[in-house]
Structure 1
Amino acid sequence: MPLLEVEGLDVRFALRQGEVQALRDVSFSLERGERLGIVGESGAGKSVAAFALLNLISRPGYIHAGSIRFDNEELTRYSERQWRRARGNRISMIFQDPMMTLNPVLTIGAQMIECLRAHRRISTSEARKLSLARLRQVQIPSPEQRLDQYPHELSGGMRQRIVIAIALLLDPDLIVADEPTTALDVTIQAEIMALLLELCERHNVGLILITHDLGVVSQVTQRMLVMYAGRVIESGPTREIINDPQHPYTQGLINALPQMTPPGQRLNQIRGSMPSLAHIPSGCAFHPRCDFAQLPDGSPRPGCQAQVPPFVDSGNCRVACHMVRQMQQLDLEEATP
């Protein structure tokens, strides 16, 4: 049985000009100890999906439909009291900016001890010992000294390590990391991701890594989802998607990587930009930016502008693209005697 099962998740925001869909029919699963990456441009719906998993969507946002089952329990039916027990205890989250996560007026030790005592019946001295053990685990130098320091006294990389230590304090089954290395330089990014990977493997913790960095996803995750305009458009094993992307959007993301362009030439880019949630294009949301939305003769590809593409299986991946479906049908017709 999967640790996490998300089916048909639909998140909406009730605005004055009308409701907008931030997530549309998002479905995926995660096994215990598995690492899943969610990628896409800004505005694709990655962070909204993460916040929905922990019921952190603020009004006017709300979960309109869908199911989130964690360890065979339906999270969408949880009361606020049940959520307080689950957050940090069974599911932890690492946010983008550690300075927005840590309380600037409390020492690191006070915050870690408060977290432990909110979920466990232990003494302050026991909580301090556990906090020290976690700081050593994330390779914080002089942990006894760091416990009595404030967040502003630490470097960005050290703050992020402390956030990871807090996320692991209560031995959760799942960690959701929302772009955990965005504010760090490249060297520190690599160290943090290597540390997070090692800790998840050691403790058999499931990881959902949300990022726009395909390089990080390829090194850390086993499976990945590609999101566009609030919908999953491709999913499958990370290596398979990176080596042979099927959806034109995924192809564009990979071709935009700097290493895909010869030295001295302009970097590749996907033309246009992510559509506003209030004005999602009809049919396939990606068709205004897609180089394959037209046939070789210049006519529109059937379905691209009129129908939301259904998922089709391609190898071990699932792809929502009219072109892929039509190519599969042509291959089938040619193979039929």
Structure 2
Amino acid sequence: MAMLEIDDLRVAFPRGKTDEIEALRGVSLRLEKGERLGVVGESGAGKSMLAFAILNLIAEPGRVSHGEVRFEGENLLDLSDRQIRSIRGNRISMIFQDPMVTLNPVLTIGQQMIETLKAHRRISRREAHRLSVEKLKMVAIPSAESRMDAYPHELSGGLRQRVVIAIALLTDPELIIADEPTTALDVTIQAEIMALILKLCRENDVALILITHDLGVVAEVTQKLMIMYAGKCVEAGDTQTIIGNPKHPYTSGLLQALPQKAERGTKLYQIPGSMPPITALPNGCPYHPRCPRATEECRAFMPDMKQGVACYHPLLSAEETV
């Protein structure tokens, strides 16, 4: 039994009095203890929706309309609010892309860390303070003891994100979900933060779901990869295998758009068109309006996932591109 098992997960939002639209459309995945999964796709692909669904955080009027999310064999979608709180933020932690949204601006770093620990453990304030300082040191924050008295606005963006990671590690979680954890940071700090997350996951045998739009990042950090488009998984498998030999035209397009793929002085490749909104999805494969390999079959019918790819006309070799 895998640590995390998601089967045919669907998230729906009402449209009018009798209709619904699906933001997630039948997503399935398996994640073993200590395994690292990258979830990649453009904005609107459903990546963050997947993270919120795993944690049972879909806000009304949205709802999980179908499927299961089993963590250590227990379906999280069947739990009461009290039961899910014992897992969310405790055994499963989340790192959001903007630390200023995550951190409370009117509380010190120490107050927020101590309150987090006391919410999940029976622990004295002195012990909670000691553990908080220990975690701040673990994420390489200088002068960790004095930072406990600092407010979020007094720290740089990189230090704030390190604090968020330290808070995520406070309860020794088994799984961390990181949703675009370096988007607001400059390139140098991005590399440091991703290296830190990878190091901490390896040393503590923590599983990771890394949500990003950057295939270059997942190539360095993850072992498994899932490509999402318009609420569906279109390709999944071993990270290096997919990057070395993508099967879905969308995956190939994302790889061709990486800056390192372009020759100096030439234009970067760009996938034509844009992802359709969930309120106006086309019939058949949602990628067909942008796909140079699309046929009438693609326009009429949704392809099933076969051998890790949902495509009627997958690429056959590493040399083949869209």
Counterparts of 2:215 and 2:266, CA distance in 1 = 21
**What is the match of residue 97 of structure 2?**
96
Aligned partners of 1:94 and 1:177 also within 8 Å:
yes
CA contact (8 A) 1:15 1:60 kept: no
What code does the residue aligned with 2:231 have? Answer: G
1:65 aligns with 2:66: yes
Q: Is the 8 A contact 2:182 2:190 kept in 1?
A: yes
**Alpha-carbon distance in structure 2 between the residues aligned to 1:85 and 1:280:** 37
Show structure 2 runs of 5+ residues with no match: 318-322
Counterpart in 2 of 1:15?
Answer: 15
Deviations 1:210-230 (A, max 9, x none): 000111100000000000000
Per-residue displacement from partner, 1:236-293 (whole Å, max 9, x unpaired)?
0000010110000000000011111111111111100000101111111100000111
Query: Which residue of 288, 300, 321 maps to 2:311?
Result: 321
Indicate if the aligned counterparts of 2:198 and 2:221 stay in contact, CA closer than 8 A: yes
Name the CA distance, whole Å, in 1 between partners of 2:137 and 2:16. 50
User: How far 1:16 moved relative to its partner?
Assistant: 3.5
CA distance in 2, matches of 1:43, 1:190: 25
Q: CA deviation at 1:312?
A: 1.6
What is the one-letter code of the residue matched to 2:301? Q
Percent identity of the aligned residues?
61
Q: Which residue of 2 aligns with 1:127?
A: 128
1:309 is paired with a residue of what secondary structure? coil
Please tell me whether Structure 1 or Structure 2 has the larger radius of gyration of its CA atoms: 1
The answer to whether the 8 Å contact 1:67/1:74 transfers is: yes
Q: Using structure 1 for the length normalisation, give the TM-score.
A: 0.92
Partner of 1:298: none
Aligned mates of 2:218, 2:105 — CA distance in 1: 31
Match of 2:320? none
Instruction: State the Cα deviation string for residues 172-229 of structure 1 (Å, max 9, x = none).
Output: 1000000000000000000000000000011100000000011110000000000000
Work out the number of aligned pairs and report it: 316
Contact in 1 for aligned 2:249/2:314 (Cα 8 Å): no
2:278 maps to what in 1? 277
Q: Distance in 2 between matches of 1:119 and 1:196?
A: 23
Alignment of 1:75-86 (within 5 A): 75-86=76-87
Give the ranges of 4+ consecutive aligned residues of structure 1 lying more than 3 Å apart after TM superposition.
15-18
Cα distance in 2 for partners of 1:28, 1:302 equals 29
Per the normalisation by structure 2, the TM-score is 0.96
1:304 is matched with 298
Residues of 2 paired with 1:38 and 1:206: CA distance? 14
